[in-house]
Chains A and B, each alone.
Chain A
Amino acid sequence: MTATRVREVARRRVVTRTVPARLRIGAVLAAVAVLALFLAVRSGLGNGRDGLRVVGHDAGPQVVHTGDLYYALSDMDGQLASALLGGDDPAGREAYLHLYDQRRGEADRAVLEAFDIAGKDPAGRLTVQSVLDGLGRYERLASRALVLDEQSKHPPGVAPKQVLELYRQATDLMRLDLLPKAYNLTLESAAIVRETYAAERSNVTRARIAVGVTGVALLGVLVALQLYLTRRFRRIVNPALALTTVLALALTVTAELALGSAASHLREAKIDGFDSTLAYTRARAISNSAAGDQTRYLLDPERADTYEQVYLDKLQAIAFYDVGSLPKYAQNLAAADPKLGFLGGGPSVALDRFRDVEKSDTELRRLAPRDRAAAVRFRTVNAAPAFAIYDDELGKLISQRNAVFRREIRKGDDALDGWHRGLPVTAAVLIVLIALGVRPRLAEFR
């Protein structure tokens, strides 16, 4: 080492050893720690908001809208089948067609909502668009079937061949094209909720650790600086630094609490609200389409076998029993609660109402081969009302769970409210206070 170099190193040591230099280093360290805390809190808030936005305001509500869409579409087809099945009973027909129109209005509104939320997702938009196109075609077929049916003046239960031909085209379009798309939209939104929820939960947990560590680091630097000043300048407390320490502690603690609260509300919203809303929405969709299969079973004897098979298949999605035929299914349902399926996992009012539906279906299928007119009457007087009660129960469960979902999302939003302005201001105040705390001591050396 040369002599100049030795002198140079010695000079630097003096520079870092002097009191003002150490003060400056301490102040800069504290400011950097404030910045680190600021970034950690900001990223945590960003994660929390993203999770709440996707789950609470995009994909979550989309499940409800697309569920409404499925329900309205499926019931349109069900009401059309009922109107055609009713034959020349003008009062009954009027009631069915009134409901048909009501459902059509609901379907239109649900399509608009779904399209709105599908927003940037091209596959989703394409699907909603093709549902809208298909709905137009469906309505043309439906009105032709209705006109032809009215002209034919047939007794209940025996629609003429040409009417059935048109209805088959309509119902095939509905059941094979439109309803699957609506249902798949619900499932896709549910998939997005599941993914977002899983990702955001680990993000928020990471952010909370980061806030904790940066908060403690900042407090450590501030305390060290305070101790150094106390020893060096023989003053007990530096008021500005003391205030900084208190504020930093408050910021860390409130940020932790806000992030924790947002995360726990998101969890409640997902587990207590969303998951059950989704399950009941799917149960209601599948149930409604099963009720349609029951009507179609009566309306179209040629396809009765298929409608019976898909009916059983849907029942097994709602409440699963390992059986291969409807009579055995009915026996099992009456004897024991299902373990699997949407209504599986213990007794419930919905399950009891479902049992009533199944009981009336058994009777309807007993009547049908012997006396179709009696079976059609039985459907109107017993089976359809039993289903309406069950359907109402599911509708009630959906609104209850959805209310929990929305309440928890709102609480989560509230927990993060105001931070976007408050956080930068607090960080700036902390840095100014650090400067104010150190400046007068530095001035003593000028």
Chain B
Amino acid sequence: MRKTPSHRAGRALLAVALLLPFTGCAGEGPRSVKGKHTLRVGVKYDQPGIGMRRPDGTFEGFDVEVARYVATKLGAKDVEFVGLTSGQREDYLLHRKVDLVIATYSITAKRKTIVTYAGPYYVAHQDIMVRADDTSVSGLRDLKDKRLCQSQGSNSVLRVTEEHGIPATLVPAASYGECFTKLTAGQVDAVTTDDLILAGFALQQPKAVRLVNTKFTDEKWGIGLHRSDVRGCEEVNRAVTGMYQDGTAERLLKRWFGPTGVEVTTTVPQFEGCS
């Protein structure tokens, strides 16, 4: 059978044309937390009620349950938790050692230049904790010349000393757990950070400490993602919206912090925006 060359070329072109719409685009976009089978989530390991490692190595707390909820909504089948200190959060995201950080991670303009924040999933307020028998502190300005605990990698103390210009003696500590120990041992006079964090510690020794209940800042707890993952960030925001709409957020807040009497907000926070 004889074929003209134009026939053959025409058929080849036609075949290509008919197949083209089905080939699709299999190119890999930037890696996103959306659609990952296993999500690695960085959480705190030493903050009771929020992110705490149990003796058997598993994790519990408000952040941990938020992480589980968000991971499920993102379609992950499995969640691996990684215990982080405040100082490790950026590094772990930047080098993709974790996919998400949900670890009382306050959104600040400065940090936003390094990581992308979904949420906030909760807006906490900075408060002050003192020993139960200490009546000398009833507000922010009473911290003048007191010994104030400064946890490594946290910016809470700077709100007092820098933003409000209140001179206080800073006593460094590795973590808020250590701050709490130092407070009950009389080595510092006050610990100041987000109310939910303080409430978590107060639950451990309710008689030894008290919350001053002066809420002098908004602390937007964000969900940290790698800088490039805008799509994942939008998807996490949808999950957080769902968490408030279906009542999960309220249930989790009441469950973990209800006993402390700390006032919680049960409506969805204003998101930061993903880009």
| A317 in contact (CB, < 8 A) | yes
Roughly how many angstroms separate A129 CA and B241 CA in the complex, as a whole number? Answer: 14
Nearest 4 interchain pairs by C-beta = A180-B270, A316-B109, A220-B10, A217-B13
Q: Select B10's contact among A17, A224, A313, beta carbons within 8 Å.
A: A224
| A257 in contact (CB, < 8 A) | no
A322:B110 contact, CB within 8 angstroms: yes
B6:A194 contact, CB within 8 angstroms: no
Closest Cβ–Cβ distance, residue A206 to chain B (whole Å): 7
A228 with B17, Cβ < 8 A, contacts A184-B270, A309-B159 known: no
Most buried by A among B125, B165, B270: B270
A-B contacts, CB under 8 A, total:
133
| A5 in contact (CB, < 8 A) | no
Roughly how many angstroms separate A45 CA and B190 CA in the complex, as a whole number? Answer: 66
Closest Cβ–Cβ distance, residue B118 to chain A (whole Å): 10
Closest Cβ–Cβ distance, residue B104 to chain A (whole Å): 17
The residue on B at minimum CB distance from A306 is: B216
Q: Mark B236-275, 1 if CB is under 8 A from A, else 0.
A: 0110011001000000000000000000010111110110
B9:A220 contact, CB within 8 angstroms: yes
The residue on A at minimum CB distance from B27 is: A202
| B185 in contact (CB, < 8 A) | no
Tell me the chain A residues, 17-61 only, with Cβ under 8 Å from chain B.
Answer: 17, 29, 32-33, 36, 39-40, 43
| A389 in contact (CB, < 8 A) | no
Question: CB-CB < 8 A to B14: which residues of A?
Answer: 29, 32-33, 36, 214, 217, 221
Q: Mark A279-290, 1 if CB is under 8 A from B, else 0.
A: 000100000000
A210 with B21, Cβ < 8 A, contacts A127-B241, A217-B14 known: yes
Closest Cβ–Cβ distance, residue A377 to chain B (whole Å): 26
Roughly how many angstroms separate A216 CA and B9 CA in the complex, as a whole number? Answer: 10
A16:B1 contact, CB within 8 angstroms: yes
Tell me the chain B residues, 194-213 only, with Cβ under 8 Å from chain A.
Answer: none
Q: Mark B2-16, 1 if CB is under 8 A from A, else 0.
A: 001011011101101
| B164 in contact (CB, < 8 A) | yes
Question: CB-CB < 8 A to B216: which residues of A?
Answer: 305-306, 309
| A179 in contact (CB, < 8 A) | yes
| B234 in contact (CB, < 8 A) | yes
Roughly how many angstroms separate A312 CA and B217 CA in the complex, as a whole number? Answer: 11
Question: CB-CB < 8 A to A216: which residues of B?
Answer: 13
| A209 in contact (CB, < 8 A) | yes
Q: Select A306's contact among B158, B217, B267, B271, beta carbons within 8 Å.
A: B217
B268:A180 contact, CB within 8 angstroms: yes
Question: CB-CB < 8 A to B140: which residues of A?
Answer: 305
Q: Mark A182-205, 1 if CB is under 8 A from B, else 0.
A: 011001101100110000001000
B271:A213 contact, CB within 8 angstroms: no
The residue on A at minimum CB distance from B20 is: A210
A306:B218 contact, CB within 8 angstroms: yes
| B43 in contact (CB, < 8 A) | no
Interface residues of B (CB under 8 A from A): 1, 4, 6-7, 9-11, 13-14, 16-18, 20-21, 25, 109-110, 113, 123, 125, 140, 158-159, 162-165, 215-218, 230-231, 234, 237-238, 241-242, 245, 265, 267-271, 273-274
Question: CB-CB < 8 A to A306: which residues of B?
Answer: 125, 215-218
B238:A188 contact, CB within 8 angstroms: yes
Closest Cβ–Cβ distance, residue B266 to chain A (whole Å): 9
Tell me the chain A residues, 162-195 only, with Cβ under 8 Å from chain B.
Answer: 176-177, 179-181, 183-184, 187-188, 190-191, 194-195
Question: CB-CB < 8 A to A179: which residues of B?
Answer: 270
Roughly how many angstroms separate A417 CA and B167 CA in the complex, as a whole number? Answer: 69
Q: Select B6's contact among A195, A209, A220, A320, beta carbons within 8 Å.
A: A220
A223 with B6, Cβ < 8 A, contacts A180-B269, A187-B274, A325-B165 known: yes
| A340 in contact (CB, < 8 A) | yes
A195 with B231, Cβ < 8 A, contacts A176-B267, A324-B158 known: yes
A187:B4 contact, CB within 8 angstroms: no
What are 29 residue pairs bridging A and B, where the CB atoms are less than 8 Å apart in the complex?
A32-B14, A36-B14, A36-B18, A39-B21, A40-B21, A176-B269, A180-B269, A183-B270, A184-B268, A194-B234, A195-B231, A206-B20, A206-B21, A206-B25, A209-B20, A214-B17, A214-B18, A224-B4, A224-B10, A227-B6, A228-B4, A282-B273, A306-B215, A309-B159, A309-B163, A310-B218, A312-B163, A317-B109, A324-B158
Q: Select B162's contact among A220, A224, A325, beta carbons within 8 Å.
A: A325
Closest Cβ–Cβ distance, residue B201 to chain A (whole Å): 22
Roughly how many angstroms separate A325 CA and B265 CA in the complex, as a whole number? Answer: 27
Closest Cβ–Cβ distance, residue A266 to chain B (whole Å): 18
The residue on A at minimum CB distance from B270 is: A180
The residue on A at minimum CB distance from B268 is: A180
A320:B238 contact, CB within 8 angstroms: no
Question: CB-CB < 8 A to B165: which residues of A?
Answer: 325
Closest Cβ–Cβ distance, residue B153 to chain A (whole Å): 16
The residue on B at minimum CB distance from A223 is: B6
| A436 in contact (CB, < 8 A) | no
Roughly how many angstroms separate A29 CA and B268 CA in the complex, as a whole number? Answer: 60
| A123 in contact (CB, < 8 A) | yes
B25:A202 contact, CB within 8 angstroms: yes
The residue on B at minimum CB distance from A209 is: B20
| A13 in contact (CB, < 8 A) | yes
Roughly how many angstroms separate A20 CA and B162 CA in the complex, as a whole number? Answer: 93
Roughly how many angstroms separate A325 CA and B155 CA in the complex, as a whole number? Answer: 13
Roughly how many angstroms separate A305 CA and B274 CA in the complex, as a whole number? Answer: 28
Question: CB-CB < 8 A to A349: which residues of B?
Answer: none
| A334 in contact (CB, < 8 A) | no
The residue on A at minimum CB distance from B139 is: A305
Question: CB-CB < 8 A to A16: which residues of B?
Answer: 1
B241:A123 contact, CB within 8 angstroms: yes
Question: CB-CB < 8 A to A33: which residues of B?
Answer: 10, 14, 17
A183:B271 contact, CB within 8 angstroms: yes
Question: CB-CB < 8 A to B163: which residues of A?
Answer: 309, 312, 324-326
| A126 in contact (CB, < 8 A) | yes
Roughly how many angstroms separate A195 CA and B233 CA in the complex, as a whole number? Answer: 12
Roughly how many angstroms separate A126 CA and B216 CA in the complex, as a whole number? Answer: 32
A227:B110 contact, CB within 8 angstroms: no
Q: Select B238's contact among A36, A123, A220, beta carbons within 8 Å.
A: A123
A217 with B17, Cβ < 8 A, contacts A180-B268, A187-B237, A309-B159 known: yes
Question: CB-CB < 8 A to B271: which residues of A?
Answer: 180, 183-184, 187
The residue on A at minimum CB distance from B123 is: A176
Tell me the chain A residues, 338-355 only, with Cβ under 8 Å from chain B.
Answer: 340-341
Roughly how many angstroms separate A214 CA and B10 CA in the complex, as a whole number? Answer: 10
Roughly how many angstroms separate A322 CA and B155 CA in the complex, as a whole number? Answer: 13
